[in-house]
């Protein structure tokens, strides 16, 4: 809806879309949805770019890991198994559409950056 808001030339549509977004921001479920969308989008890009530049995949894995460290345990308690499942599902879906993607490379990259980032993170109490 945000893309439609900015791309539409109809002022009535823009006004109604803007009101919808403003009302959505006032709802608690919208703020609960945002972290899930962030993780999903990052993972989606990791899957899409898994056959491309390792530098980009590494940066995306770093971003996902940084988010996951902040989200544990409240929002995303099982981020490593969840990442594995989501990556596998994404690659299988892409392969079924004829795309040649590799599961192992982004998985290896993710499993490499997670311990490095956990050691660097400033974790307090039970989050360690």
Residue 106 maps to a domain: yes
Domain count, the chain: 1
- In this structure, of 54-58, 70-74, 113-117, the range with the lowest mean pLDDT score is 70-74
- Summarised one tens digit per residue, pLDDT across range 26-48 is 888 777 777 888 888 998 898 88
Q: Report the pLDDT value the prediction gives residue 56, as an integer from 0 to 100.
A: 92
Q: Report the pLDDT value the prediction gives residue 127, as an integer from 0 to 100.
A: 52
Sequence-ordered list of residues with C-beta below 8 angstroms from that of 108, at least 6 positions apart, any chain: none
Question: Which residue range(s) make up the domain with 96?
Answer: 33-127
Sequence-ordered list of residues with C-beta below 8 angstroms from that of 14, at least 6 positions apart, any chain: 5, 8
Q: Are 70 and 38 in contact (CB under 8 A)?
A: no
Q: Report the pLDDT value the prediction gives residue 47, as an integer from 0 to 100.
A: 84
Q: With 60 as the cut, is the pLDDT of residue 124 above it?
A: no
Q: With 90 as the cut, is the pLDDT of residue 89 above it?
A: no
Q: Report the pLDDT value the prediction gives residue 125, as an integer from 0 to 100.
A: 54
- Summarised one tens digit per residue, pLDDT across range 51-60 is 777 899 999 9
């Amino acid at each position: 809806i945000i893309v439609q808001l900015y791309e539409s030339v109809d002022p009535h549509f823009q006004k109604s879309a803007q009101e919808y977004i403003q009302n959505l921001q006032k709802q608690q479920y919208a703020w609960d949805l945002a972290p899930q969308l962030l993780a999903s989008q990052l993972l989606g890009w990791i899957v899409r770019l898994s056959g491309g530049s390792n530098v980009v995949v590494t940066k995306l894995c770093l971003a996902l890991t940084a988010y996951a460290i902040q989200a544990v345990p409240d929002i995303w308690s099982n981020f490593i198994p969840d990442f594995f499942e989501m990556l596998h599902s994404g690659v299988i879906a892409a392969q079924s559409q004829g795309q040649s993607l590799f599961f192992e490379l982004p998985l290896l990259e993710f499993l490499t950056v997670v311990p490095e980032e956990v050691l660097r993170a400033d974790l307090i109490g039970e989050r360690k």
